[in-house]
Structure 1
Amino acid sequence: MKANIHPDYQAVAFHDTAVDKYFIVGSTIKSDRTVEIDGQEYPYVPIDVSSASHPFYTGKQKIVASDGRVAKFNRRFKNIGSTSK
């Protein structure tokens, strides 16, 4: 590898502000702010959504049942072929 061309990889504290939870993850993101967690100082990056607050991961997502194309076709044209001769 070439020297001095890669960004610094370091542990960063990502803060999910929706549920007030911190994630310590390795990243190359830059931040001017820092936070101290368990006696260790990390660069601080606030985020709006993470696996701790997203409805899909928390199980609070509402699943909307939608019919497929065949069901929509059958519902739309169900009376066309039923005429008696």
Structure 2
Amino acid sequence: MKKEIHPKNYRSVVFKDINNEKILICRSTVKTKEFIQLNGCNYPLYKMEISSYSHPFFTGEKKFLGKTGPAEKFKKKYEKYKKI
């Protein structure tokens, strides 16, 4: 294993799922600009659009998150070139 290649700035970070307000605290090196107060401690806050708490694979539910996929974007972009 190579030495001195791993980051040294691991710290506890709060990951928050914005779809259902669930949180997870774990150690990470992710850069954040926001902070949150939990249990009397100030933690860096990282907001996620999807996590295991809201992903359809883990929840068993189908949910539309409001974003279009690549196929829909492609169709919309080239719809004006469709021949009649």
What range is the shorter-chain TM-score in?
0.5 to 0.7
Gaps of 5+ in 1: 62-85
* 3-state SS in 2 of match to 1:34: strand
The one-letter amino acid paired with 1:49 is I
1:9-29, Cα deviation, whole Å (9 max, x unpaired): 001001100001111011001
- Which of the two has higher C-alpha Rg? 1
- Please state how far the C-alpha of 1:7 moved relative to its aligned partner: 3.9
Q: Tell me which residue corresponds to 2:43.
A: 42
C-alpha distance in 2 between matches for 1:9 and 1:47:
19
Give the total of aligned pairs.
59
CA apart distance, 1:54? 0.5
Gaps of 5+ in 2: 63-84
Secondary structure of the residue aligned to 1:43 is: strand
* Alignment partner, residue 19 of structure 1: 20
Q: Which runs of 4+ in 1 moved over 4 A?
A: none
For 2:7, what is the secondary structure of its paired residue? coil
Q: Is the 8 A contact 2:7 2:29 kept in 1?
A: no
Match for residue 79 of structure 2?
A: none
| Distance (whole Å) between structure 2 residues aligned to residue 58 and residue 14 of structure 1 | 18
Q: What letter corresponds to residue 39 of structure 2 in structure 1?
A: D
Counterparts of 1:7 and 1:48, CA distance in 2: 27
